[in-house]
Homo-oligomer: A and B are copies of this chain.
Amino acid sequence: MDQPARESSPTIGDLGETAVLGRILPRLEDGRAALVGAGDDAAVVAAADGRFVVTTDLMVHGPDFRLAWSSPHDLGWKAAATNLTDVAAMGARPTALVVAIAAPPSMPVSVLEGIADGLRDGLAALAPGAGVVGGDLSASSVLTIAVTAFGDLEGRAPVLRSGARPGDVLAHAGARGDAARGLALLFAQARDAAGEPDPELAEALRARHPHLVGAQLAPSPPVAAGVLAARAGATAMLDVSDGLARDARRLAEASGVALDFHGSAFGDDPMTALAGAEDHGLLATFPAGAVPPEPFQVVGSVVAGGGGAAVRAGLLTLDGEPVDTGGWDPYSGWDGIAG
């Protein structure tokens, strides 16, 4: 975190809503789809094919991030990245976001400026041409970032979770376990003697492990791969946010099939690759015999579920052996600490 800038920055409460928005809005671009951008009661966004894809997600200080570990820029980047991936998982091209932020009046305005910069840079890197078309600013004792993202199907059918068929190829694009490995490093090496998240330890850790810590704090999911999968005829797809095994089970349940992972696709640490949350890769199925487009890699196959309870349970196997699914639940997973 940029401590000197925070110390010299006025607080949100010092400036008030109008002046804060006046500092934030110029840092953002509204993108190619904006017909009416921020400043009116609502925005107007182009939806050329007569439909739009929409997803919404909250990031909350405490269960979802620690300010001692994530910079404001990281928060904005990650808020963009996670929502863009949900749009991509439908086979759509992201077009726009709206962002609502609730922040304590005592928070330095520089934190909001950093979040805005991270949103802008994440959009530019992961979904060029998409922008922020509107937002809201509220007061809360807990920093909360609500992003709603939109996408264009460009005339294609949406790719749902429910279309996988026995015989299909199971493929994955993106990291497998890196975000969880980064989080484990942060818990192990970026807390002080009392167990509290420590910004200086986190900065030093990130310098030593930029890839893994970055995968947790500012991930770069394969957003563009969503459209590539749809064009290649993907039969089902979802965003892997809660762990590969846990999300694969959702795809299996929705499609009424079972999935067999190939152990050879998961390297030395298959359990972290399968259970680790927050990678935001894309898991997709393609017709039998298809070669999934880059950056997808074949990680298994779709098999008949056997019917009844086994199908409803979304049977998962790794080289034929049952897999125990782990993953993240915000109510059981949060330890109550903010930091």
Contacts and interface: CB of A to CB of B under 8 A. Distances in A.
A158 B44 contact: yes
A201 interface: no
B36 A45 contact: no
A56 interface: yes
Contacts of A217: none
Contacts of A148: 54, 56, 98, 100, 148
Nearest to A17: B329
Copies of this chain, whole number: 2
A268 B161 CA distance: 60
B139 A54 contact: no
Nearest to A86: B41
A41 B139 contact: no
Interface stretch (A87-95, A121-129, A191-199): A87-95
A45 B54 contact: yes
B161 A41 contact: yes
A98 B58 CA distance: 12
- Measured as residues with beta carbon below 8 angstroms from the partner, the interface class of chain A is 35 or more
A264 interface: no
A223 to B, nearest CB: 12
Contacts of A99: 56
A132 to B, nearest CB: 11
Interface stretch (A59-67, A164-172, A206-214, A290-298): A59-67
Contacts of A306: none
Interface string A155-196: 000101100000000000000000000000000000000000
A51 B46 contact: yes
Interface in A237-257: 237-239, 254
Interface stretch (A1-9, A270-278, A315-323, A330-338): A330-338
B47 A136 contact: no
Contacts of A150: 54
A98 B147 CA distance: 11
Interface string A95-133: 010111110010000000000000000000000000001
Interface of A is mostly: strand
A135 B41 contact: no
A313 to B, nearest CB: 13
B139 A17 contact: no
Interface in A1-56: 12-13, 16-18, 35-36, 39-48, 50-56
A134 B43 CA distance: 19
A53 B64 CA distance: 30
A105 B331 contact: yes
Given A42-B86, A52-B52, A60 B140 contact: yes
21 contacts: A16-B332, A17-B331, A35-B51, A35-B158, A40-B158, A41-B90, A42-B55, A42-B89, A43-B55, A44-B153, A45-B52, A54-B98, A54-B148, A55-B134, A56-B148, A58-B140, A62-B141, A63-B140, A100-B146, A141-B142, A144-B144
Interface of A: 12-13, 16-18, 35-36, 39-48, 50-60, 62-64, 86-87, 89-90, 92, 96, 98-102, 105, 133-142, 144, 146, 148-151, 153, 158, 160-161, 237-239, 254, 329-332, 334
